[in-house]
Amino acid sequence: MLRKIVSFVLFCILLSANVYAHTAIVEMTGENKYKAIRLTPEIYSNANFNLSDILITDESGENVPYFFNSCYQDAYTEVSRYPMTFINAYIKDDEFYFDYMVSEQPGRDILATSIEFTTDNANFAKSVEVFGSYDNIHWEKAQNDKLFNVDGKSKLEIVFNEQKKYTHYRFKLANNLEKISFNTVELKNSMETNQKSFFIEHLRPKFRTEEKGKTTYIYIEGLKNLRLAEITIDTDSMFQRTVTAVPFWLSKELYNLALNGTTYTDTTMPFDRLGARDEILTLTIDNADDKPINIQGITVKYYADELVFEGGKSGKYTILFGADASKPAPVYDIEKYKNEILQGSIDRLSIQEVVFETPQEKQAPDLFNKIFNIVVIGIAVLLGFLILMKLRKKTSD
């Protein structure tokens, strides 16, 4: 009997713990293995602040591992070149030496990752010892390498194993029966740089204004959980006034002026990725004794994220969010090799449909909670009665 009661209680708990989540539908397209979906303001506003409650499921309802990406990685190579001037050549112990120096020294360290040569000589292959100097007096061994130009195949660049800072270079050849000479010798410094380009989206949100005393209040909707880049006030009014963002308490003097045929305009408030936590973000304008300005619209720029995951070539996947405010973020292996994935080709998809839970759906858990509470109280009374009866029976025995 007791086992049946416990089983019934567990069933009630599971029933009452059922939650409802908002959903977004994504249509799979493209030939690439990995897909990316840009999150929308609706998802940000209704998900947890740190997006920990977001899940992706495939057509069979199975969870799909994912990671967040917030920028492009643009890799480019910056190359600096320094022509060199021939200053000396000599023979010592049947070995040939060529000395060069940087033609124009910029007054700072001359960094070099390689030396490039041009020559009219052909059909040669030479081992070369490279020495470096800062003063043309004291020389240091820099590197060993080879130069060749044979049967249309050539190697006329010495790549250093680490950056060099010398201003003078000496090249030592074991012999020079071919009478090799160089037309040009040039230092080259190649530096690879990674530049991040963040995903910045535009939004024209709903807003309303209110005048209180000498202050204009602008109430902006739909920015909850967005990492803001900037907010711009669209107006045709001439003004120069202090604008404050609440609750961040950021203040800046904005203006829109036309003086002597020249227009001066700055109506943008920067936010530097601050996250809006409330449903309404408020801007206040200190009007002093002037009339309120005519606010025609609000433009918001915010930093967006993409969900990146492995998806199929067709079918519909579902994003679930807003189910559990205390849910910790899932941990997936895909996060460990995200850099390799981002270097490849990715299909970028868009959200087709967002479905929010209705007020009627929200009432369901409340109803289950009431039923659950009644059941628990009833079971407690029943258990107390059974225990009391058992005690009485033992007493009578």
Distance CA 309, CA 54 (A): 13
CA angle 214, 215, 217 (to 5 degrees): 155
Distance CA 318, CA 60 (A): 10
Region 260-281 average pLDDT: 92
Q: Which pLDDT band, with edges at 50, 70 and 90, does 260 fall under?
A: confident
Residue 44, pLDDT score: 94
Whether residue 215 has pLDDT greater than 50:
yes
User: What's the Rg (C-alpha) of the chain?
Assistant: 36
Residue 369, pLDDT score: 60
Residue 14, pLDDT score: 43
Whether residue 161 has pLDDT greater than 90:
yes
Of the chain, the percentage scoring pLDDT greater than 70 comes to 85
Whether residue 247 has pLDDT greater than 90:
no
Region 126-141 average pLDDT: 95
Q: Which residue has the higher pLDDT, 242 or 75?
A: 242
Residue 54, pLDDT score: 95
Q: What is the mean pLDDT of the chain?
A: 87
Report the chain's terminal Cα–Cα distance, integer Å: 22
Residue 391, pLDDT score: 63
The CATH T-level fold of domain 76-195 is Jelly Rolls (2.60.120)
Residues 269 and 281 sit within 8 Å (Cβ to Cβ): no
Residue 175, pLDDT score: 84
Q: Give a three-class secondary structure readout of 352-394.
A: EEEECCCHHHHHHHHHHHHHHHHHHHHHHHHHHHHHHHHHHHH
Residue 361, pLDDT score: 45
* 8-12, 225-229, 272-276, range with greatest mean pLDDT: 225-229
Q: Which residue has the higher pLDDT, 177 or 238?
A: 238
180-184, 200-204, 370-374, 375-379: least confident range: 370-374
Q: Which pLDDT band, with edges at 50, 70 and 90, does 197 fall under?
A: confident
Whether 201-303 and 76-195 are alike in CATH topology: the answer is yes
Amino acid at 207: F
Strands 316-321 and 22-27: antiparallel
Whether residue 251 has pLDDT greater than 90:
yes
Residue 323, pLDDT score: 79
201-303: CATH class: mainly beta
Whether residue 341 has pLDDT greater than 80:
yes
Q: Where are the domains of the chain?
A: 1-20+357-397, 21-63+311-355, 76-195, 201-303
Whether residue 73 has pLDDT greater than 70:
no
Region 202-223 average pLDDT: 96
